[in-house]
């Protein structure tokens, strides 16, 4: 099982849209796919019309009283399952810290799922914390959506600095990609031209600030379900194909 984490320190950059659409595309191409909604805001669970509730909460899951495979929910899409969010995940750092090896807990929890799925996608909360360190150690790659603005670019620089300072850079490759792009804006245009020169690991696909992506909240479905030929649907499909090639999925 390969693990991809959609991660950014900053919120509101398109992590959940990326997670939901990439998971759906992977499943559509025949990969047995599991999406874990780790964000207590539960947006990914909402999109798939699944109640954000875990029996026993995150604490019983972390200590082993709840088997992770028992809380997996089927979506309405073939090959695609969901581990729903739970509001108790807001305290997940504290739950993990109680373990003797707190930075390795996520890997331990996921081990029983390794033979059941080809791909696990983590929709990560916006933070840099013990949960983040668990994600960095468990993931095979970090996919980092970056809005082409100064503050969003700065958070990617902070992420790279954190990984370097904590000897985590060799654990998983980091692939940023532009999200919520509006090339009519001068700053967006300039940043999308300049940043790939500074960070050659940047993926070439750009996710636009498109109305068909915004409609996900109304449709409660991935973009490819209701607007596959729209700007957002085409962009996410291109992103999925680029990720497949980069990671040899």
Angle at 123 between CA 136 and CA 149, to 5 degrees: 85
Q: List strands edge to edge, sheet with 174-181.
A: 73-74, 80-83, 33-37, 119-123, 2-6, 141-146, 174-181, 206-208
Q: What's the predicted TM-score (pTM) here?
A: 0.95
pLDDT for res 5: 97
pLDDT for res 61: 87
pLDDT for res 216: 97
Cα–Cα distance, 157 to 179 (Å, whole number): 16
Q: Compute and round to an integer the Cα radius of gyration of the chain.
A: 17
Q: Give the C-alpha distances (Å, rounded to integers) separating 234 from 1, 43, 98, 154, 193.
A: 26, 22, 44, 28, 21
Q: Collect the ranges in the chain with pLDDT lower than 70.
A: 99-103
For 2-247, give the CATH class: alpha beta
Helices 186-198/150-165 angle, 10° precision: 20
pLDDT for res 59: 86
Nearest to 227 by CA among 206, 245, 208, 213: 213
Residues forming a β-bridge with 5: 122, 142
Here the tokens at position 238 are 């291109």
> Alpha-carbon torsion 218, 22, 205, 200, what sign?
positive
Here the tokens at position 223 are 């973009």
Here the tokens at position 29 are 């191409």
């Amino acid at each position: 099982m390969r693990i991809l984490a959609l991660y950014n320190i900053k919120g509101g950059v398109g992590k959940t849209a990326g997670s939901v659409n990439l998971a759906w595309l992977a499943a559509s191409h025949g990969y047995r796919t599991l999406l874990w909604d780790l964000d207590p805001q539960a947006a990914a669970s909402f999109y798939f019309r699944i109640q954000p509730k875990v029996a026993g909460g995150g604490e019983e899951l972390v200590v082993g009283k709840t088997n992770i495979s028992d809380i997996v929910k089927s979506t309405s899409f073939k090959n695609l399952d969901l581990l729903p969010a739970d509001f108790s995940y807001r305290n997940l750092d504290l739950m993990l810290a109680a373990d003797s090896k707190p930075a390795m807990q996520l890997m331990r929890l996921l081990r029983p799922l390794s033979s059941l799925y080809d791909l696990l996608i983590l929709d990560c909360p916006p933070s840099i914390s013990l949960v983040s360190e668990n994600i960095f150690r468990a993931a095979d790659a970090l996919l980092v959506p970056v809005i082409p603005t100064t503050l969003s670019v700065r958070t990617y620089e902070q992420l790279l600095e954190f990984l370097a300072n904590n000897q985590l850079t060799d654990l998983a490759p980091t692939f940023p990609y532009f999200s919520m792009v509006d090339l009519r804006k001068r700053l967006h245009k300039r940043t999308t031209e300049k940043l790939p020169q500074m960070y050659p690991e940047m993926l070439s696909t750009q996710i636009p600030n498109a109305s068909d992506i915004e409609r996900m909240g109304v449709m409660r479905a991935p973009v490819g379900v209701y607007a596959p030929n729209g700007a957002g649907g085409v962009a996410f499909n291109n992103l999925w194909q680029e990720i497949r090639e980069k990671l040899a999925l």
